[in-house]
Amino acid sequence: MTPQYILEKIFGYQDFRGEQKNIIEHILADGNALVLMSTGGGKSLCYQIPALIRPGIAIVISPLIALMQAQVSALQQFGIRAACLNSSLSYDKARAVSQQLRQGELDLLYVAPERLMTPRFLEFLNTAQIALFAIDEAHCVSQWGHDFRPEYVQLSILHQHFSTIPRIALTATADGPTQRDIITHLGLENGKVFIAGFDRPNIRYRVVQKDKGRDQLLTFLNAEHRGDTGIVYCLSRKKVEEIAAWLTRQGWSALPYHAGLDKNTRQHHQMRFLREDGLIIVATIAFGMGIDKPNVRFVAHLDLPKSIEAYYQETGRAGRDGLPANAWMAYGLQDVVKLRNLLEESEANEQHKRIVRHKLESMLGYCEMTTCRRQALLAYFGEQLSNPCQNCDTCLEPVATWDATDVAQKALSCIYRTGQRFGVAYLIDVLLGKSNERIEKFKHDRVSTFGIGQELNKKQWSSIFRQLIARGFATVDVEGYGGLQLTEKARPLLRGEQPIELRKDILTQKKTDKKYSRSSRQAFEGHDKILWETLRHKRMELAIAQTVPPYAIFHDSTLEEMVQRQPHTHEEFARLPGVGTHKLERYAEAFIEVLDEHALQYGDVSTG
Q: Is the dihedral of CA 466, 472, 478, 479 positive or negative?
A: negative
Query: Using 50, 70 and 90 to split pLDDT, how confident is the model at 213?
Result: very high
Average pLDDT estimate for 541-566 = 91
Highest mean pLDDT among 44-58, 135-149, 379-393 belongs to 44-58
Average pLDDT estimate for 68-93 = 89
CB distance 282 to 266 below 8 Å = no
Query: Using 50, 70 and 90 to split pLDDT, how confident is the model at 513?
Result: very low
pLDDT digits (tens, 9 = 90+) for 458-476: 989 988 998 898 788 998 7
CB distance 121 to 158 below 8 Å = no
Query: Using 50, 70 and 90 to split pLDDT, how confident is the model at 498?
Result: very high
pLDDT: which is higher, 66 or 474: 474
Q: Name residue 170's beta-bridge partners.
A: 35
Nearest to 237 by CA among 303, 312, 289, 174: 303
Average pLDDT estimate for 537-563 = 92
Nearest to 94 by CA among 84, 109, 103, 104: 84
pLDDT value of position 347: 78
pLDDT value of position 512: 45
Q: Is residue 529's pLDDT more than 60?
A: yes
Lowest-pLDDT range, 27-36, 39-48, 242-251?
39-48
Average pLDDT estimate for 348-355 = 78
Q: Name residue 484's beta-bridge partners.
A: 476
Q: Is residue 26's pLDDT more than 50?
A: yes
Average pLDDT estimate for 44-49 = 96
Q: Among residues of the chain, what percentage have pLDDT more than 70?
A: 94
Terminal CA-to-CA distance of the chain, rounded, Å?
41
Sequence letter at residue 103: Q
pLDDT value of position 46: 97
DSSP 277: S
Q: Among residues of the chain, what percentage have pLDDT more than 90?
A: 59
Rounded (10°) angle between helices 65-77 and 263-275: 30
| Distance, CA of 216 to CA of 267 (rounded, Å) | 30
pLDDT value of position 88: 79
471 Cβ contact partners less than 8 Å away, ≥ 6 residues apart: 365, 368, 489, 500
pLDDT digits (tens, 9 = 90+) for 359-377: 888 898 899 888 899 999 9
Q: Please give the CATH superfamily to which domain 203-396 belongs.
A: P-loop containing nucleotide triphosphate hydrolases (3.40.50.300)
Nearest to 599 by CA among 531, 500, 541, 534: 531
Q: Do domains 3-195 and 203-396 have the same CATH topology?
A: yes
Determine the topology of domain 3-195 in CATH.
Rossmann fold (3.40.50)
pLDDT value of position 506: 56
CATH number of the structural domain 524-602: 1.10.150.80
Determine the topology of domain 404-503 in CATH.
Arc Repressor Mutant, subunit A (1.10.10)
pLDDT digits (tens, 9 = 90+) for 392-436: 999 998 888 889 999 999 999 999 999 999 989 999 999 999 999
pLDDT value of position 231: 96
| Distance, CA of 166 to CA of 101 (rounded, Å) | 20
In angstroms, what CA-CA distances link 197 with 38, 130, 194, 386? Answer: 6, 29, 9, 14
CB distance 485 to 477 below 8 Å = yes
**CB-CB neighbours of 455 under 10 Å:** 12
Nearest to 267 by CA among 446, 70, 107: 70
Q: Is the dihedral of CA 205, 211, 214, 220 positive or negative?
A: negative
The DSSP secondary structure of 387-423, one letter per residue, reads S--S-BHHHHSPPPEEE-HHHHHHHHHHHHHTTS---
| Distance, CA of 418 to CA of 485 (rounded, Å) | 10
Domain boundaries, the chain: 3-195, 203-396, 404-503, 524-602
pLDDT value of position 505: 74
Q: Which helix (H) or strand (E) holds 34?
A: strand 33-36
272 Cβ contact partners less than 8 Å away, ≥ 6 residues apart: 255, 279
Query: Using 50, 70 and 90 to split pLDDT, how confident is the model at 145?
Result: low
pLDDT digits (tens, 9 = 90+) for 161-176: 899 999 999 998 777 8
Query: Using 50, 70 and 90 to split pLDDT, how confident is the model at 521?
Result: very low
Q: Which helix (H) or strand (E) holds 76?
A: helix 65-77
Angle at 115 between CA 110 and CA 118, to 5 degrees: 140
Q: Is the dihedral of CA 504, 505, 510, 516 positive or negative?
A: positive
Entry field: residues in the chain: 608
pLDDT digits (tens, 9 = 90+) for 430-455: 999 999 999 999 999 999 999 999 99
Angle at 243 between CA 241 and CA 249, to 5 degrees: 105
CB distance 170 to 136 below 8 Å = yes
Q: Kindly report the average pLDDT of the chain as a whole number.
A: 88
pLDDT digits (tens, 9 = 90+) for 191-211: 999 988 789 999 999 999 898
CB distance 188 to 33 below 8 Å = yes
The DSSP secondary structure of 121-181, one letter per residue, reads HHHHHHHS-EEEEEESSGGGG-TTSTT--HHHHGGGHHHHH-TTS-EEEEES---HHHHHH
pLDDT value of position 481: 65
Residue 461, Cα to own-chain centre: how many angstroms? Answer: 33
| Distance, CA of 523 to CA of 505 (rounded, Å) | 33
Q: Is residue 510's pLDDT more than 70?
A: no
Rounded (10°) angle between helices 405-417 and 424-432: 110
Query: Using 50, 70 and 90 to split pLDDT, how confident is the model at 604?
Result: low
pLDDT digits (tens, 9 = 90+) for 267-321: 899 889 988 889 999 999 867 655 678 899 999 999 999 889 889 989 999 998 8
131 Cβ contact partners less than 8 Å away, ≥ 6 residues apart: 50, 51, 54, 55, 56, 57, 58, 107, 165
